[in-house]
Each structure stands twice: as structure tokens, then as C-alpha cells.
Amino acid sequence: MLKFADQPPASTADPHAVPHGHQAALQDGLDFINTLELEKGLPVDHLTDLPAALGWLQAHDLLHLEAMEAAVAAGQAQPDLAARTLRRIRRLRAAMRELVDASVERRPPSLDQLGEVNKSLRTHYVYVLVPAPDGVSLDHRHEGDPVDGALARLAESLARELSQGDVDRLRVCANPTCQWAFFDTSRTGRRKWCDMSTCGNRAKAARHRERLKGVPTPLEGASA
């Protein structure tokens, strides 16, 4: 089951969040990575098929509804096309995960996975100014496959952080049965868990159980 990382108070809100629009926020990129997650240590893929993957992109304002419906219809008419598109989406997700892991582990990323992200970044979409009631607003125009445009914006959200942001706050949850990617918005910058109410509490409970193993019961103490 997909969960949501702790929401920070306004004073510590993620400075990388992007208002509704066509540029993806870092959180969108991390949410995308976390669509393949662990549940009780076992992998669960929430992008089960092409409609699910396209629906995720549309729900995150990365794909217009009309483009999503057209891509779903094309995939239904051409199963091979659907399979290729889904593989493309999952390949980028795996590559972005590798870049986060490499950053957290302080090592160079796999060149193949780096190349996959760079391939997505080369997708062409252009920004244009359009009239708005109070002046102008920024819109975009796809040049090519709109799915590629959506993936490019996800790749860009992570590339921006890795090259210009606070890389030290990129994290992987310390719970080995979770390993969610997240951005640490805590004041101290020392958060280990994606969510204190789930993974953090489980870790504290596990440490408590370990401590109890070394404490004799009252009967054991009386007989010593």
C-alpha cells in the first residue's frame, strides 16, 4: 500500500515544492521512485500496467487527460506498444532510484542508469507564455510523445536536486523492509525514517524488544 511521508510544518516546508503547473517538483520524482516499494520486505509495483502508469502521471499533473486517454487507447489497440511504453516508464524509475541510492551511498551511479536519465532529459518540450486574466502565465507545448515529456519532467526534478540542491538531505529510509526515497525536511537534517509514525515507531519498538531480551524477569532475578 502506498503511504505518504510525514508532511512538514509550514516553517520547514520543502523549498523544492513546485506549485501546480508543468514543472515537476522533487516530491513528484521521489513519489515516482516509490511506486516500486517494499511491503514486509517484498517488492510491490504500483505501476502494474500501462493504464495504471499513465493514470499516475495524469494524477500528478504531468500528463493531460486527453493525452492519457489517447495513450491508453493506443496501448489497447497495440499490446506491443503498451508493453514498450510501460518498460520505458519503469526503466526511468529504476534509473532515478539508482541515482538516489548512489547519492546517499556517496558513490558514482551506474553509467547505464545515468544514460537512461540523460536520455529522458533530452526529450523536447518548450515553455511558452500565454494570455491570462491578470497578465500572462507559463504553459508548455509538447514536441513529440507526451509520455516522454512527462518522464522528462520527472527526470529533471531529480537532476535539478542532484546538481543544484541540498543533496545531503536526500535519504533512503533506514527501515530495511521499506527503503523509501525521501527528502529530509527536518530542522536538524538527521531524519532516518520516511515516516516516524510507521517506520520510526517500528524501529523504536524493535530496539525496545532487543533491550528486554537482556533484562531478567522478576522470577529470574529472585532465583539468581
Q: What is the pLDDT of residues 147-166, one digit of tens each?
A: 999 999 999 999 999 998 88
The pLDDT mean for the chain works out to 82
Residue closest to 33 by CA, chosen among 193, 175, 170, 145: 170
Place of cell 514486509: 40
Q: What is the pLDDT of residue 165?
A: 84
Higher pLDDT, 98 or 8: 98
Tell me the C-alpha to C-alpha distance, in Å, between residue 76 and each of 64, 71, 82, 83: 18, 9, 7, 10
Q: What is the pLDDT of residue 213?
A: 57
CATH class of 14-167: mainly alpha
Higher pLDDT, 123 or 14: 123
Q: What is the pLDDT of residues 43-83, one digit of tens each?
A: 999 999 999 999 999 999 999 999 999 999 999 999 999 99
